[in-house]
Amino acid sequence: MDSFSIRTRLFFGPDALDRLKALPYKRVLLVLDPFVAKGPVCGELTSRLEAGGTAYRVFDGVVPDPPVAAVAEGVRAFLDFRPDAIVAVGGGSAIDSAKLVREFARKMDPAAADAAKLVAIPTTSGTGSELTSFAILTDEQQKKKISLAGDGILPDEAILSVPLVSSVPPPLVADTGMDVMTHAIEATVSERANDFSDALAEKALSLLGTYLLRSYSDPKDEEAKAKMHSASALAGAAFNASGLGLNHGMAHALGGRFHLPHGRTCSLLLPHVIAYNAGMESLGGRVAPAEPAVKGYRKIARILGLGNADATSAVRGLIACIRFLQSEMKLPTRVSQTGKTTEGEYMAAIDAMTEAAIADFCTQGTPRPPMREAVAKIYRELW
Ligand SMILES: NC(=O)c1ccc[n+]([C@@H]2O[C@H](COP(=O)([O-])OP(=O)(O)OC[C@H]3O[C@@H](n4cnc5c(N)ncnc54)[C@H](O)[C@@H]3O)[C@@H](O)[C@H]2O)c1
Ligand SMILES: [Fe+2]
């Protein structure tokens, strides 16, 4: 039996942040991205909490791609302060840190953690973590990312405040925007896609088609920033209902090993995974129309306004569109361009990354079985 729900209460609009004045909680642990803790946004949050008579404590030890040690620090702060809510403000790393803090605190003090609500306030338009039951932990020793999933991880509230994303620099707009694109595409072609996840992914795709490049090229384009913030949440809700796929499994293995930003890693892989899922032998080849993902890619091409002459041109058009976005937003198309590793080190890691990608929780439900040799070939071609 399948089910669908969006349980997180969403606040949006110009005065969305004022929700902090009306929180029905007495003690709040603020889990802050360092960019938030050190900047003017911190005062915007604390002044509203004070106006509402809410006591708070700040935890600003969020680390990008949260590693175990940073989450443990957060658990300590939680158990020490015993808040009745956590308010996470930052990118996906801050929101995931807060989710993980509550999840791990459950092992130490189940009553306190079960009672604590979670309010997610994203400052990037990318992960959609504010509406998902997933959290991604980085195991630094094993150099890999671990996906945790469960209803208890889902935020209770989310606040979409557009002014908070106005400071996102263009390279981060590019990375996080391509994360949204990958979520919407993987949600559409997932084996578990359904009418409800489709509705959310379709809207996210149509917003992406109109606003991603606008948001990248003009930091003052508030309409584009607002629409991309909605697209991010919609795509998050979509994949929360459908699951993701091989692109995310491979991105977790690659990004976890070489510390590549998540969205940039998803973007690197996207043309290759689309080609594989469509049954193409190479990026420019012909699709195998029997592959179940082809129908989804044709629909995506149509939503992005790429025409729909036949299956092969639709899929090739979609790949060309992703290449165009990468070129316009100066995103790398090869791991060698990222400067994060050497060819020898990268090639030596391919077997381990292939294992990790196939075993990754997100790979479940991917539309074409992830054959070991094919996954390793994609990694090799990516250099
Ligand atoms: N839980 C989920 O459903 C889910 C989904 C996708 C990705 N993720 C995870 O989320 C993480 C990535 O999150 P992200 O892409 O939002 O990046 P991030 O949270 O790691 O932030 C990246 C950088 O941007 C800075 N930053 C954040 N907001 C800013 C702003 N408004 N202005 C200027 N700088 C700002 C941060 O300080 C940080 O240095 C990864 O660990 C990824 O695996 C989680
Ligand atoms: Fe993602």
- Clarify whether residues 159 and 215 are in a common domain: no
- Probe residue for ligand 1, chosen from 63, 127, 147, 179 as the CB with the greatest number of ligand atoms within 8 Å: 127
pLDDT at 142: 87
Is residue 1 predicted with pLDDT exceeding 90? no
Mean pLDDT of the 291-295 span: 95
| The pLDDT value given to residue 63 | 96
Which protein residue has the closest C-alpha to ligand 1 atom 3? 129
d(CA 333, CA 330): 9
Q: Residue 234 — very low, low, confident or very high, per pLDDT cuts 50/70/90?
A: very high
CATH assignment of the domain containing 328: 1.20.1090.10
CA of 167 to the centre of ligand 2 (A): 21
Domain boundary among 98, 133, 165: 165
Residues with CB under 6 A from ligand 1: 33-35, 64-65, 90-94, 96, 123-124, 126-127, 129, 132, 134-136, 164-165, 167-168, 172, 176, 179, 262-263
Determine the structural domain holding residue 353 and report its residue range: 170-382
Output helix, strand, coil percentages for the chain, rounded to the nearest 5.
60, 10, 30
Ligand 1 atom with the smallest distance to the CA of 35 is 37
Instruction: State the chain's mean pLDDT as an integer.
Output: 96
What CATH code is carried by the domain that includes residue 111? Answer: 3.40.50.1970
Distance CA 94, CA 148 (A): 15
According to the model, what pLDDT value does residue 202 have? Answer: 98
Neighbours of 148 (CB within 10 A): 17
**What are the beta bridge partners of residue 18?**
none
Do 26 and 84 meet the contact criterion of CB atoms below 8 Å apart? Answer: yes
Query: Residue 23: is its pLDDT beyond 90?
Result: yes
Most confident of 278-287, 299-308, 314-323: 314-323
Rg (CA), the chain: 20
Domain boundary among 134, 165, 196: 165
Identify whether 3 is part of a domain.
no
Q: Give the total number of structural domains in the chain.
A: 2
**Are 133 and 187 found together in one domain?**
no
Pair (301, 186) in one structural domain: yes
pLDDT of 308 above 80: no
- Neighbour-count burial for 282-304, b at 16+ CB within 10 Å, e otherwise: eeeebbeeebebbebbbbbbbbb
230 and 210 within one domain: yes
pLDDT at 47 over 80: yes
Q: Verify that 330 and 348 share a domain, yes or no.
A: yes
**How many angstroms separate the Cα of 188 from the Cα of each of 244, 292, 366?**
9, 11, 10
Report the pLDDT value the prediction gives residue 302, as an integer from 0 to 100.
96
138 and 65 belong to one structural domain: yes
